[in-house]
Amino acid sequence: LADPNKIKFGYLKMLVGDDDEEGVWKEDWKRFYFVLLPGHMYAYERSRDSHPSGHLGTSKIGVERSPDSPNILHITTPLRSFQIKFRDSFELFDWLHSLMSSSTTSNCGSLLKIMHSELNGILSYIMREKLPIIPEDLLIKLHLLNDIDMSQKKDKESIFKIKPNDSTIIGRESSCHIQFEDPNISRAHAKIDVNESGGCKIADLNSGNGTRVNGDFIKPHAALTCGDVVVVGKGTVFSVGREVDEGRVKEAVERRKREIDEKPKRSEMV
């Protein structure tokens, strides 16, 4: 987990099978914490575990999207095949790019080209038709990079999404949007604002231990972009990403298409 050569890491679901109490083979999706390295992918039960539950060699792989779901990826190695499920096509695209970096021989590049055209097609259509959904569906994503007690999250969620025109307070108080049981964090420690166009900034709220972005203390605020690392207090670490709610995007695209089709044509108006 501490290897400096990590390419990517995070929770994903993998299809696993086992015999039930009656000896019948059953398969189900199980959540693992994956760490991707050059030539290797390790699966852990939890992010804090020191010993992996499984190992996948990624030097030579073949990849294919499942016919059952575009968000399921079949990965084949010389020794075995396995399936991984992603939240959406955008997350799959991100991990696929990292898998290509991890492997020496693969067909990841071919699939990336197909997906690049597909995803750009969705987004370019939205921009071309000037659909008013981009501010709603381009989210700022904070990914908690370390394990720490969270007061209001029994399942220890590690990803927080912030929509445009939203303000998110991080701190110890129960009224905070993201609340931690960490004595090094002030009651109201920092605030993250996202404007209507998706621009993001973070402000320190006169906290005791300060807030850092990419190693530098902010005075009093700083812009946030994808890939930035935020440290709140002494050891609560976030990475900053951006996410598109693909389901809502597709719904809006279909809705817009119907609106266009339902408009009276010029010939019908004459």
Structure confidence by residue, pLDDT tens digits, 64-82? 999 888 889 999 998 888 8
Q: Which domain holds residue 178?
A: 137-246
pLDDT of residue 105: 86
Please give the structure tokens belonging to residue 87: 């939240």
Q: Is residue 54 domain-resident?
A: yes
241 within domain boundaries: yes
Q: Is the pTM of this model over 0.75?
A: no
The Cα 75–Cα 179 span in angstroms is 38
Q: Which helix (H) or strand (E) holds 128?
A: helix 108-128
Q: Note the pLDDT of residue 73.
A: 94
Residues 133-183 have pLDDT tens digits of 333 445 677 777 665 555 444 444 577 888 777 889 999 888 888 888 888
* Average of per-residue pLDDT across 198-223: 87
- Could you tell me the strand order of the sheet in which 236-244 lies? 159-162, 138-144, 236-244, 229-232, 211-213, 216-217
Distance of alpha carbon 242 from alpha carbon 224, whole angstroms: 11
Q: For position 142, what pLDDT does the model report?
A: 78
Contact at 8 Å (CB) between 240 and 230? yes
Q: Looking at the 3D structure of the chain, how many domains does it have? A: 2
Q: 173 lies in a domain?
A: yes
Residue 108 within a domain: yes
- Chain-wide mean pLDDT for the chain? 77
Structure tokens at 19: 């015999």
Asked whether residue 46 falls in the same domain as residue 152, the answer is no
| Residue 29 scores a pLDDT above 70 | yes
Which pLDDT belongs to residue 268? 45
Q: What is residue 214's three-state secondary structure?
A: coil
Please give the pLDDT value at position 175.
87
